[in-house]
């Protein structure tokens, strides 16, 4: 359907009746927003979710859907997350507008969905990270594109459609969004019970200049934040919706450290007042280790973990990619130890394939991850994202292979095959049961970590023996069944059992420790199983970035 909506076109209203268009008053639109299915990946926890109690189908909600729905005013909105439900194609034909969002790892699925929508009546709209860096891919696939943020362009577009005014085919805001004015997300439109965790956004933008990152391309280098009252209201919505954990999905939660502290000073009493209803996690730069007050506020605000872009232990590679925040001050190891001593788990991202990387990088990465107790190490091969400084540099140097979605660069000190093989050898080593359990236990060598984790668990009421024990036993039973079906009860299950006995989990950390141990084993199973399936070529597609 063309972008122009003539006033004479009918529309299905909320009662499934036909309403005529009125240019004077506008009409209520029927809108469907789609988040495409992800292919299996390390990030998806596809093999772990079935073992958790309930009908969990996705690790985290799509924040884009709920945020965009909040900007739809009084129009009728339906959210479809293909990761927890199937698309009802018959129903798609009855909407006025169908919007599709997505990231690079959803690229092919987005195309498949848009090809199917092209045969149906609704106007098709695309927005999100992928189209913001690769507009050309969507030429001819949709009626309208939204580049970058859309807090002003999206409502304006809906107004024009509702009033029968001709719309543009491309929208891009003239200036960045004022985060203090954004509308409240519509979490109530999601199928909450099918997600393991919620997602909220406090800020956009990052002050740093990492060469490979598209964040500063889309959102800029000046962090913009919501008012504390806004974020607290969203946390209240999540609590009432029934979520028990939430990821603050900022590109860098402490991009503006002063305002981050101010927010945490609101979250701490909110947590105390409501009995610590949400376990929080976020993404932050490693310089948070330099601020003792900030670490303590994160801990008191019930942040259980933080994801840090460490990327590499090699200073030359960090300098090369302009990740200067990781080379300032004392060592990476010292910074990580301070974060863990504050009672906060560290999950981290790592990259192999920088120009300074030779074949010895794989052993360097393995040793660093193991020695520093980084349980969840998300390792990827360097990927050049369109519009980033890295992409532009490698394009000038003739070192791009854009037709390969899993490895689109030519490394400098090894061949593409050597990089690919070294990567898979590394993740295979990292996610053997022995290696995973060894590093996941390392944090318990810190007396400060152990005491602070025990304290926050008590405050959150997580030490109640009967429900905690039943939860742990449910995970144990699900794990045993899974390992038996897979034929891995002896090869993997015996390693879990030996480590459990060797580390005296119950004796040292009680029932809570037992539940935590089982949860870590379930998480490990996903990483182990995914690596095994990917290296055997049994996955239809996989994401390594």
CATH 3.40.50.2300 range(s) for the chain read 11-172
Between 25 and 395, name the one with better pLDDT: 395
299: enclosing H helix or E strand: helix 292-300
Helices first, then strands: H and E counts in the chain: 19, 17
Tokens read off for 143? 């009626």
Query: Would you say residue 482 has pLDDT above 50?
Result: yes
21 pLDDT above the threshold of 80? no
E strand spans, 261-383: 279-283, 303-311, 345-352, 377-381
Tokens for 159, please give them: 């107004």
* d(C-alpha 447, C-alpha 149), whole Å: 45
Mean pLDDT of the chain: 92
What does the pLDDT average to over 374-401? 96
pLDDT in tens, 511-541: 888 999 999 999 999 999 999 999 998 775 5
245-248 and 195-200 strand pairing: parallel
- The tokens for 215 are 């964040």
Kindly tell me if the per-residue pLDDT of 7 is higher than 60: no
Query: What tokens appear for 432 in the block?
Result: 């053997």
149-160, pLDDT tens digit by residue?
999 999 999 999
What's residue 24's pLDDT?
47
CA distances from 368 to 24, 141, 362, 450, 536 (A): 65, 45, 10, 22, 27
pLDDT reported for residue 25: 60
What value does the mean pLDDT take over residues 430-438? 97
**Per-residue pLDDT, 512:** 85
pLDDT tens digits for range 115-143: 999 999 999 999 999 999 999 999 999 99
Q: Is the pLDDT of residue 180 over 80?
A: yes
Percent of the chain with pLDDT over 90: 87
Residues 6+ apart with CB under 8 A from 464: none
Phi then psi for residue 245, to 5 deg, are -145, 155
| Owner of token pair 């981290």 | 348
**Token reading at 516:** 């935590």
- Band the pLDDT of 12: cuts 50, 70, 90: very low
Residue 507: per-residue pLDDT? 60
Burial 79-99 (b: 16+ CB within 10 A, else e): bbbbbbeebeeeebebbbbbb
Whole-prediction pTM value? 0.91
Q: Strands 345-352 and 170-172, how do they pair?
A: unpaired
Instruction: Give the distance, in angstroms, between the CA of residue 529 and the centroid of all CA atoms in the same chain.
Output: 20
Q: List, in sequence order, every residue forming a beta bridge with 97; answer none if it has no partner.
A: 31, 123
The CA distances from residue 76 to 28, 96, 216, 291, 370, in Å, are: 7, 10, 33, 46, 51
Q: How many CB atoms lie within 10 A of CB 508?
A: 10
Burial class (CB within 10 angstroms; exposed 0-12, middle 13-18, buried 19+) of 228: middle
In terms of DSSP bridges, do strands 58-60 and 195-200 run parallel, antiparallel, or are they unpaired? parallel
Q: What is the pLDDT of residue 537?
A: 85
Query: Closest Cα partner for 353 from 317, 385, 300, 405?
Result: 317
Tens digits of per-residue pLDDT, 199-215?
Answer: 999 999 999 999 999 98
Say what the pLDDT of residue 93 is: 96
C-alpha distances out from residue 452 to 248, 341, 342, 375, Å: 22, 8, 7, 18
**What's the alpha-carbon Rg for the chain, to the nearest Å?**
24
Quote the CA–CA distance of 316 and 378 in Å, as a whole number: 21
Q: Which of 526, 318, 529, 342 is nearest to 447 (CA)?
A: 342
Residue 466 has pLDDT above 70, yes or no: yes
3-state secondary structure 200-211: ECCEECCCCCCC
* Predicted pLDDT of residue 174: 93
What's the pLDDT tens digit per position in 89-117? 999 999 999 999 999 999 999 999 999 99
Closest CA to 98 of 115, 84, 83: 115
For 469-480, what is each residue's pLDDT tens digit? 899 999 999 999
Residue 1 predicted with pLDDT over 60: no
**CATH number for domain 11-172, candidates 3.40.50.1010, 3.40.50.300, 3.90.1200.10, 3.40.50.2300:** 3.40.50.2300
Q: What was the pLDDT predicted at 127?
A: 98
Tens of pLDDT, residue by residue over 321-374, are 999 999 999 999 999 999 999 999 999 999 999 999 999 999 999 999 999 999
Percent of the chain with pLDDT over 70: 94
DSSP secondary-structure letter at 39?
A: P
Domain 201-431 coded CATH 3.20.20.70? yes
Q: Where in the chain is the domain with CATH 3.20.20.70?
A: 201-431
Per-residue DSSP letter, 6: -
Total residues belonging to the chain: 545
């Amino acid at each position: 359907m063309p972008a122009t909506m003539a006033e004479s076109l009918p529309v299905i209203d909320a009662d499934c009746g036909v309403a005529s268009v009125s240019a004077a008053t506008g009409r209520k639109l029927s809108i469907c927003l789609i988040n495409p299915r992800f292919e299996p990946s390390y990030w998806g926890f596809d093999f772990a979710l079935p073992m958790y109690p309930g009908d969990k189908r996705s690790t985290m909600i799509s924040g884009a859907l709920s945020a965009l729905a909040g900007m739809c005013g009084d129009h009728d909105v339906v959210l479809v997350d293909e990761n927890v439900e199937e698309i009802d194609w018959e129903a798609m034909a009855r909407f006025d507008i169908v919007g599709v969002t997505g990231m690079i790892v959803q690229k092919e699925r987005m195309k498949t969905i848009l090809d199917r929508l092209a045969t149906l009546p609704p106007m098709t709209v695309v927005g999100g990270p992928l189209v913001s860096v690769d507009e050309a891919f969507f030429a001819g696939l949709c009626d309208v594109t939204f580049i970058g943020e859309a807090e002003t362009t999206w409502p304006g577009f809906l107004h024009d459609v509702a009033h029968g005014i001709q719309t543009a085919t491309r929208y891009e805001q003239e200036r960045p969004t004022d985060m203090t004015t954004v509308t409240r997300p519509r979490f109530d439109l999601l199928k909450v019970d099918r997600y393991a965790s919620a997602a909220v956004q406090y800020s956009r933008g990052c002050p740093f200049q990492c060469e490979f990152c598209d964040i500063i391309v889309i959102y800029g280098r000046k962090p913009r934040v919501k008012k504390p009252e806004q974020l607290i209201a969203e946390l209240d919505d999540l609590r009432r919706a029934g979520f028990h954990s939430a990821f603050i999905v900022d590109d860098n939660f402490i991009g503006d450290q002063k305002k981050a502290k101010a927010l945490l000073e609101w979250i701490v009493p909110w947590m105390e007042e409501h009995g610590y209803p949400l376990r929080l996690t976020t993404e932050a730069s490693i310089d948070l280790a330099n601020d003792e007050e900030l670490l303590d506020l994160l801990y008191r605000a019930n942040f259980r973990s933080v994801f840090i872009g460490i990327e590499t232990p090699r200073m030359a590679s960090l300098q090369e990619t302009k990740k200067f925040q990781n080379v300032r001050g004392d060592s990476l190891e010292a910074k990580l130890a301070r974060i863990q001593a504050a009672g906060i788990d560290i999950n981290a991202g790592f990259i192999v394939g920088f120009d300074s990387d030779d074949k010895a990088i794989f052993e360097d990465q393995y040793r660093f991850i193991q020695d520093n107790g980084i349980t969840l190490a998300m390792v990827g091969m360097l990927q050049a994202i369109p519009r980033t400084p890295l992409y532009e540099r490698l394009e000038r140097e003739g070192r791009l292979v854009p037709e390969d979605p899993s490895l689109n660069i030519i490394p400098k000190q090894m061949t593409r095959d050597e990089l690919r093989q070294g990567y898979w050898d590394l993740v295979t080593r990292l996610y053997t049961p022995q290696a995973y359990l060894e590093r996941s236990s390392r944090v318990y060598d810190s007396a400060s970590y152990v005491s602070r984790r025990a304290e926050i668990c008590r405050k959150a009421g997580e030490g109640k023996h009967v429900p905690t024990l039943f939860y742990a036993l449910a995970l144990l039973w699900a794990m045993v069944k899974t390992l038996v079906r897979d034929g891995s009860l002896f090869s993997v299950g015996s390693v879990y059992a030996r480590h459990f006995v060797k580390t005296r989990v119950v004796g040292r950390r009680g029932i809570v420790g037992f539940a935590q141990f089982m949860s870590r084993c379930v998480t490990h199973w996903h990483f182990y199983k995914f690596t095994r399936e990917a290296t055997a070529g049994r996955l239809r597609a996989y994401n390594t970035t």
